[in-house]
Amino acid sequence: MIKEKIKKIIDKQFDCAHCKQLPEGVEAEVSTVENLAFGHYSTNVAMRLAKDLGRNPQEVGLELAAKIREAAPKNLFEKVEVAGPGFINFFLSAKTLQAELSEIYKNRKDYGNINVGKGKKVIVEYSQPNIAKKMHVGHLRSTIIGDSLANIFEACGYKVVRWNYLGDWGTQFGKLIYAYKQWGNKAAVKKNPIEELLRLYVYFHDQVKTDATLGDRGREEFKKLEDGDRENRALWKWFREESLKEFKKIYKTLGINFDVWIGESAYEKQMAPIISELKKKGLAKESEGALVVDLTEENLPVALVAKSDGASLYLTRDLASARDRNKKYKPQQIIYVVANEQTLHFEQMFAVAKKIGVGSADLKHAKFGLVLGEDRKKLSTREGRAIQLEELISKILVLAEAAIDKKSSGLSAAKKRKIAHAVGIGALKYNDLKENRNSDIVFDWERMLDFSGNSAPYLQYTRARLNRIIKKAGKVYEVDFKVLNGEAEFGLIKKLLDFPEEIKKSAETLYTNNLATYIFSLAVLANKFYETTPILKEESKAKRAAYLALISCVSEVIKRGLNLLGIESPEEI
């Protein structure tokens, strides 16, 4: 990456004993500049240095810039300038930009694959729906964000384990089994598994209001399940399988895959050892019959690790699971993509995990906000009923089909359907991934599908248009980028250069919005470029070839970028 090259040149200036002036731990930071009037890259190192030396920052900047100019390879920069309070701005030369583009063009299919994660492993846990319940929009956000983060880590060279942690254990299954035995029947569950199980569960809770002893019945059934009672085990297994079938339908529509499917139930056997270890190490103590870990030092409320009836808990299962993942996979990081609402849970879990020691992986909570309707209230149907995930997905697909039907009139029905699927699901995912995940997102159907706004369809359509030009032009045989010398071309090349860095940043911060914004601004530049540059009408053969090669790089980066967000990019629209 050219940015790294610049950083090395700057760092070199601090190599000699005499000028080792950088304060301890401070590294020269090179940042990419958006406004090309201020160059392509910039560093504030002179200002940091001046502060430390008690000198005038501009003066230090001028001295440093002079040294850099001298040390830099000839023709790398057009100029190196000091601006404002001491920023050093780097303007790449035309030659450098052309050479960089030539590299990108040669490896365009792989461009954006970086190796910062080589030899490292990361577990990305996402989706995590609960058995016998509907997958809801919160799970949808986790699914979309987690899948994209996993793709991004892969592009960075990490070995990624895509992990689905199913909510398949807990006392609620005792209640469900009781309700099924009492009021349920096989045919009804077979016909509509999740809906029927949910109905039974809700019915159970209604009945508890008038018959308090039912609580005990539920607990008894759960105890039997824990003890391996055959009938209960079989029922639980069946409910689980039926639920998984439904989840898998949704994953198929969304194009989501996992390497590991494991439920909370898998850690049941590891609970007792964890609990006794917590006791033995003096970390947990009895409190009103339950077992708790004090987290005063961490400024957190006590963590409950076992209930008074001995039942294990969500947090304890998470501890067991974290230890197991560390042991089996030896990852450097475990990322939990879970809603903001569970922040306290993860803070407590991570704190207890640290005390007891579960392994060396960094545990990180990648949290996200709610999904809201257009009115910024809970997402609901016109009648005010909470909208279900399946309805939401089919609605976006119907809308996308209508839009594509209009837009792609020349294509066959089958092709149109495929494109509409990519556009609809893309719209859904992009609407999520373009926002800072901590904020709530709004479901504004029109904006999501707006072909001229900041949306997946806009990006997909931009690329399809570029492809149309490339296809029309036919094969390009020889390219020499030396003929490219306009502002618009240089702007596009610089934007292409930023791609690997945006990927790296996303993996470091666990945010996808910067990458989404990047693809959007690349597409805006590309649209501007071909609206002002008549590529196919260009008379100079050499120029035409270079333009075409440039837009193939852009097309490839838009595609790769979308794919990293888990979004397909149809060749034509």
Contact positions toward ligand ARG, by CB under 6 A? Answer: 125, 128, 130, 165, 167, 318, 336, 338
Question: 364 or 418: whose CB is closer to ligand ARG?
Answer: 364
* Cα–Cα distance, 79 to 81 (Å, whole number): 6
* Cα–Cα distance, 27 to 243 (Å, whole number): 52
Q: Closest distance between ligand ARG and the C-beta of residue 140, in Å? A: 12
* Cα–Cα distance, 253 to 284 (Å, whole number): 45
Indicate the pairing of strand 362-368 with strand 333-339.
parallel
Question: 263 or 426: whose CB is closer to ligand ARG?
Answer: 263
Q: Closest distance between ligand ARG and the C-beta of residue 168, in Å? A: 9
Question: 134 or 560: whose CB is closer to ligand ARG?
Answer: 134
Buried b / exposed e along 290-314 (16+ C-beta atoms within 10 A): bbbbebeebebeebbbbeeeebbbe
Q: Closest distance between ligand ARG and the C-beta of residue 98, in Å? A: 49
Write down the catalytic residue from 40, 134, 139, 429.
139
Question: 336 or 443: whose CB is closer to ligand ARG?
Answer: 336
Nearest Cα residue to 336 out of 325, 134, 504: 325
Question: 293 or 404: whose CB is closer to ligand ARG?
Answer: 293
Write down the catalytic residue from 67, 95, 120, 136.
136
Q: Closest distance between ligand ARG and the C-beta of residue 345, in Å? A: 7
DSSP reduced 3-state for 247 = helix
Q: Closest distance between ligand ARG and the C-beta of residue 366, in Å? A: 11
- Is 133 among the catalytic positions? yes
- Is 139 among the catalytic positions? yes
Indicate the pairing of strand 159-166 with strand 121-125.
parallel
Q: Closest distance between ligand ARG and the C-beta of residue 371, in Å? A: 14
- Is 136 among the catalytic positions? yes
Quick one: angle between helices 172-183 and 230-254, nearest 10?
Answer: 100
Angle at 212 between CA 209 and CA 218, to 5 degrees: 105
Q: Are 162 and 204 in contact (CB under 8 A)?
A: no
* Cα–Cα distance, 397 to 402 (Å, whole number): 9
Write down the catalytic residue from 3, 67, 133, 279.
133
Cβ-based neighbours of 238, under 8 Å, separated by 6 or more: 189
Question: 440 or 480: whose CB is closer to ligand ARG?
Answer: 440
Tokens 């009103």 -> residue: 288
Query: Catalytic amino acids?
Result: 133, 136, 139
